[in-house]
């Protein structure tokens, strides 16, 4: 035990503080009161403004690693889309996101009483995301002659009249990485697609330049974004539950910064003396 | 000779891809969509080649009885299990493949992802030391954004989330945009150097 | 045939390509005074340090980019230089990657470097590893290599995403001298904190011009700066014109 303690460094104390800050709040049944940010309201309003029957292409561009953070966001957005009676085309540009995307889409569709092939379809995975995004711009039916389950897509009512991005009201990339930049480069710039994104909190700031330029029309991120969206939808979900843990972790990091400065200052003072 | 052929192929394909963006005819579209198909096929085949290479590499490590033999054995077993399970039972919701994905692969990846929380904290501990005026401004921005973007932001002050948003949307975005413009120009120049054969990593 | 809405973009493409091609082929810049970039100057030092310590070096191009991404191409150009130095010093170079195509390209670059240095026998094919196409599978694989091999230097050049800080902190914990360079703006902040030197955005693309004697490459960098000057001038001019009621943002940018 003493040997273990002797190997303990400041780094380990920092790790321990984060572990406690992230896990203990999950055990408490406390919900923070909050309001929705303008960013979340804009995303919500964009979906709300779409007429019933509009086509939404949702790309599940994430891996299993980020699913815990992505799931509440994806759930909330899908609930909203189905509530608005939008036609949903699901696909994945990441092999790993394929099954998770299908599970998420089917779960929410069943919850909302939607019918496969009429209200939604899942097209599955296409390798090489650059060429997949470009190929949809040329011809979605050619790129996806069959769906994830191997059924022919040509006769599906949900895909009726959909040829390329021109018939898609909005593309939503649900992601844990930089995929929206590929959508901007290839779908927005070349085919003038309308893009929104739902992503993990760490990646959000890298996309703000695209939001302010209008290339990304809406963005919601992280558990806070999910909690805000649930608030607007007036439906409970995982975002509200995770918000406390995320917020306490953020404050713990703030405390760590302050402690780091005090330790640094004391070290420097000792040196001067 | 072969490298010259590779360069000619690069040049022709590169120039065509630029040209077809602006000039759209049935012929250019047909070539373009065919190229996109090839692109996906090459990528899919490369994954198979990569998988075989990975198996070969770890088999060699096992044969050499190196210290890392146990890791290689686990890797080989995992690859073979996933491939065989998918071929025999498929990849449906109740298949062994899906079970392994949901109960082994996903939690392992989430574990590695969660390391980020710890590393962000340790990096913040070292990175936000206030030793100069610019460092103070940086630390102050970090405090505003951390608190303002947390669920406690509104409890501290009704204006704090808006101030945090301003920091992210203005100074932070302006700096990022500056970098992105440079990156954009650099990307074009690098791509052009490759297309024109001025700079290439292959011989 | 031609979409008039693409005219502005076409002009920008022609201008950029024209300037780069012109300076690269026709009017090679004779003498360039290059701004010192500490991260580039430290590359040779890092290889030398690892060699002195008898440790290998690790070079990886990140999970975010595939072979056609210019950032990956720029990183592979740097690999050519790093591998050349490592081969001449007799230092082992480990190259884990997430992409089998990048692995093949890297294998060829490193093998060529060892051949040119006169040590073809020192090249080990299994030092270039295709780890996993999955983001955190790749991160775990690289972390494992770093933790077990304890490299003297780590080069993180390319497009990185969520794995950036995990890799950089693991390298930091293991005491390696780390040089990073990326176009991912969000990951730059992590690299600056966790690495010894960081090439910011465009510096990665210009690095090869610093490390080569090829005038054409250096001239293309000069062309890059010229275009940047035009963009900066427009960014200053357009708001002034807008104040006088002349709004040309959409027409020009």
**ipTM computed for the complex:** 0.86
Q: What are phi and psi of C249, to 5 degrees?
A: -50, -55
In a domain, B83, yes or no: yes
Give me the average pLDDT of each 10-residue run along chain C (253 residues).
Answer: 80 88 73 82 94 96 89 92 94 95 93 93 90 92 94 96 93 95 91 94 87 81 89 91 84 71
Q: Who among A63, A128, A206 is closest to C134 (CB)?
A: A63
Distance from CA of A46 to the nearest CA of B (A): 20
Range of the domain at B56: 1-89
Q: Summarize pLDDT for C242-253 with one digit per residue, the tens.
A: 898 888 877 776
Claim to verify: residue C89 and residue C180 sit in the same structural domain: yes
Q: Who among B57, B108, B182 is closest to C129 (CB)?
A: B57
Residue that the structure tokens 């146990």 belong to: B70
Q: Mutating which of B36, B121, B167 best tests the A interface, going by the most A Cβ atoms within 10 A? A: B121
CA neighbor of B128 nearest in space, from C218, A130, C235, A14: A14
- Chain A CB contacts of B142 under 8 Å are 254, 257
Claim to verify: residue C14 and residue C45 sit in the same structural domain: no
Q: Which chains touch A (3 or more CB pairs under 8 A)?
A: B, C
Claim to verify: residue C138 and residue C227 sit in the same structural domain: no
What letter would DSSP give residue A62? -
Q: What is the mean pLDDT of chain A?
A: 91
**3-state secondary structure (DSSP) of residue A61:** strand
Contact C162 A176 (CB under 8 A): yes
In this prediction the pTM is 0.89
Range of the domain at C238: 4-30+215-252
Of C138 and B36, the structure prediction assigns the larger pLDDT to C138
Q: Summarize pLDDT for A36-54 with one digit per residue, the tens.
A: 888 899 999 999 999 999 9
Query: In chain A, what are the domain boundaries?
Result: 38-239
Claim to verify: residue B80 and residue B135 sit in the same structural domain: no
Residue that the structure tokens 């273990």 belong to: A4
Q: Would you say B29 and B17 are in contact if contact means Cβ atoms under 8 Å apart?
A: no
End-to-end, the C-alpha distance of chain A in Å comes to 35
Distance from CA of B159 to the nearest CA of C (A): 25
Q: At what angle do helices A10-27 and B106-127 cross, to 10 degrees?
A: 120
Claim to verify: residue C45 and residue C167 sit in the same structural domain: yes
Q: Would you say A43 and A196 are in contact if contact means Cβ atoms under 8 Å apart?
A: yes
Cα–Cα distance measured from residue A74 to residue A222, given in angstroms and rounded to the nearest whole number: 11
Q: Which chains touch C (3 or more CB pairs under 8 A)?
A: A, B
- Which helix or strand (DSSP H or E) is residue A260 part of? helix A238-272
In a domain, B103, yes or no: no
Q: Who among A65, A139, A212 is closest to B110 (CB)?
A: A65
User: Count of domains in chain B?
Assistant: 2
Instruction: Say yes or no to pLDDT of A240 above 90.
Output: no
Q: What are phi and psi of B133, to 5 degrees?
A: -60, -45
B121 touching chain A per CB within 8 A: yes
In a domain, B22, yes or no: yes
Claim to verify: residue C178 and residue C96 sit in the same structural domain: yes
Model pLDDT, residue A169: 97
Distance, C-alpha A98 to centroid of its chain: 15
* CATH code for position C105: 3.40.50
Of B89, B110, B139, the one marking the end of a domain is: B89
In CATH terms, A38-239 corresponds, of 3.40.50.620, 3.30.70.20, 3.40.640.10, 3.10.350.10, to: 3.40.50.620
Claim to verify: residue C13 and residue C64 sit in the same structural domain: no
User: Count of domains in chain C?
Assistant: 2
CA neighbor of C146 nearest in space, from C62, C61, C59: C59
Claim to verify: residue C203 and residue C105 sit in the same structural domain: yes
Q: What are phi and psi of B66, to 5 degrees?
A: -75, 175
Q: Would you say C196 and C41 are in contact if contact means Cβ atoms under 8 Å apart?
A: no
Instruction: Say yes or no to pLDDT of B32 above 70.
Output: yes
Model pLDDT, residue C209: 81
C185 touching chain A per CB within 8 A: yes
Q: What is the mean pLDDT of residues B100-121?
A: 90
- Chain B CB contacts of C99 under 8 Å are 46, 50
Contact C184 A63 (CB under 8 A): no
Model pLDDT, residue C75: 94
Cα–Cα distance measured from residue C24 to residue C9, given in angstroms and rounded to the nearest whole number: 22
Claim to verify: residue C177 and residue C146 sit in the same structural domain: yes
Claim to verify: residue B85 and residue B133 sit in the same structural domain: no
Claim to verify: residue C154 and residue C86 sit in the same structural domain: yes
Model pLDDT, residue C31: 66
Instruction: Say yes or no to pLDDT of A63 above 80.
Output: yes
Tokens of A209: 């330049």
Of B36, B64, B89, the one marking the end of a domain is: B89
Q: How many CB pairs under 8 A join A and B?
A: 142
Claim to verify: residue C12 and residue C63 sit in the same structural domain: no
Contact C201 B186 (CB under 8 A): yes
Instruction: Residue B101: count other Cβ atoms within 10 Å of its Cβ.
Output: 19
CA neighbor of A215 nearest in space, from A239, A249, A244, A190: A190
Claim to verify: residue C18 and residue C61 sit in the same structural domain: no
Claim to verify: residue C221 and residue C206 sit in the same structural domain: no
């Amino acid at each position: 035990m003493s040997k273990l303690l002797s190997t303990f460094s400041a780094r380990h104390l920092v790790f321990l503080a984060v572990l406690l800050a992230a896990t203990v709040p999950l055990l408490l049944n406390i919900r923070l009161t909050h309001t929705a940010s303008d960013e979340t309201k804009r995303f919500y309003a964009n979906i709300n403004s779409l007429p019933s029957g509009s086509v939404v292409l949702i790309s599940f561009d994430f891996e299993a690693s980020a699913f815990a953070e992505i799931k509440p966001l994806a759930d909330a957005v899908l609930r909203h889309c189905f509530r608005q009676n939008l036609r949903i085309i699901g696909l994945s540009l990441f092999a790993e996101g394929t099954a998770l995307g299908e599970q998420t889409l089917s779960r929410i569709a069943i919850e909302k009483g939607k019918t496969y092939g009429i209200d939604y379809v899942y097209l599955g995975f296409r390798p090489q995301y650059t060429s997949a995004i470009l190929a949809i711009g040329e011809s979605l039916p050619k790129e996806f002659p069959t769906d994830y389950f191997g059924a022919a897509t040509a006769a599906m009512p949900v895909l009726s009249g959909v040829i390329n991005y021109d018939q898609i009201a909005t593309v939503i990339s649900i992601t844990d990485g930089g995929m929206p930049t590929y959508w901007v480069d290839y779908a927005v710039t070349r085919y003038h697609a309308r893009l929104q994104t739902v992503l993990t909190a760490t990646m959000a700031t890298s996309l703000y330049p695209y939001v302010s330029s209008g290339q990304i029309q809406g963005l919601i991120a992280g558990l806070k974004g999910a909690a805000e969206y649930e608030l607007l939808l007036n439906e409970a979900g995982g975002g509200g539950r995770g918000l406390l843990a995320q917020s306490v972790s953020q404050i713990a990091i703030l405390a760590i910064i302050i402690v780091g400065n005090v330790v640094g200052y004391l070290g420097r003072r000792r040196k001067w003396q | 000779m072969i490298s010259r052929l590779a360069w000619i192929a690069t040049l022709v394909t590169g120039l065509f891809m630029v040209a077809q963006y602006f000039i759209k005819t049935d012929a250019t579209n047909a070539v373009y969509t065919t190229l996109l198909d090839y692109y996906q096929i090459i990528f899919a085949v490369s994954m198979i080649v990569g998988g075989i290479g990975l198996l070969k590499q770890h088999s060699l490590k096992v044969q050499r009885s190196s210290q890392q033999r146990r890791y290689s054995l686990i890797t080989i077993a995992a690859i073979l299990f996933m491939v065989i399970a998918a071929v025999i039972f498929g990849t449906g919701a109740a298949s062994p493949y899906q079970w392994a994905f949901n109960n082994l692969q996903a939690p392992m990846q989430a574990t590695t992802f969660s390391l980020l929380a710890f590393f962000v904290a340790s990096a913040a501990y070292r990175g936000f030391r206030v030793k100069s005026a610019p460092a103070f401004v940086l630390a102050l921005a970090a405090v505003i954004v951390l608190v303002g973007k947390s669920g406690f932001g509104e409890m501290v002050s009704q204006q704090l989330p808006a101030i945090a948003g301003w920091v992210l949307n203005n100074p932070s975005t302006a700096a990022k945009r500056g970098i992105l413009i440079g990156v954009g120009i650099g990307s074009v120049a690098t791509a052009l150097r490759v297309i024109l054969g001025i700079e290439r990593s292959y011989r | 045939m031609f979409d008039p809405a693409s005219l502005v973009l076409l002009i920008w493409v022609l201008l950029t390509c024209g300037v780069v091609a012109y300076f690269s082929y026709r009017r090679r810049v004779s003498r360039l005074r290059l701004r010192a970039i500490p991260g580039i100057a430290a590359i040779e030092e890092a290889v030398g340090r690892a060699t002195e310590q008898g440790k290998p070096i690790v070079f990886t191009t990140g999970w975010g980019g595939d072979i056609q991404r210019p950032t990956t191409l720029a990183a592979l150009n740097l690999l050519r230089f790093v591998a050349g130095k490592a081969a001449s010093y007799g230092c082992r170079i480990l190259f884990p990657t997430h992409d089998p195509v990048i692995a093949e390209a890297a294998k060829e670059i490193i093998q060529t470097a060892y051949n040119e240095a006169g040590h073809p026998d020192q090249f080990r094919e299994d030092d270039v590893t295709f780890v996993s196409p999955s983001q955190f599978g790749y991160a775990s694989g690289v972390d494992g290599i770093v933790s077990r091999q304890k490299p003297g230097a780590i080069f993180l050049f390319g497009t990185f995403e969520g794995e950036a800080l995990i890799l950089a902190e693991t390298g930091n914990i293991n005491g390696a001298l780390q040089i990073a360079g990326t176009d991912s703006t969000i990951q730059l902040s992590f690299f600056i904190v966790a690495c010894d030197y960081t090439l910011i955005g465009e510096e990665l693309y210009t690095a090869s011009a610093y490390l080569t004697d090829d005038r054409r490459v250096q001239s293309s960098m000069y062309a890059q700066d010229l275009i940047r000057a035009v963009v900066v001038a427009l960014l200053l001019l357009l708001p002034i014109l807008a104040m006088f009621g002349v709004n040309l943002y959409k027409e020009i940018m």
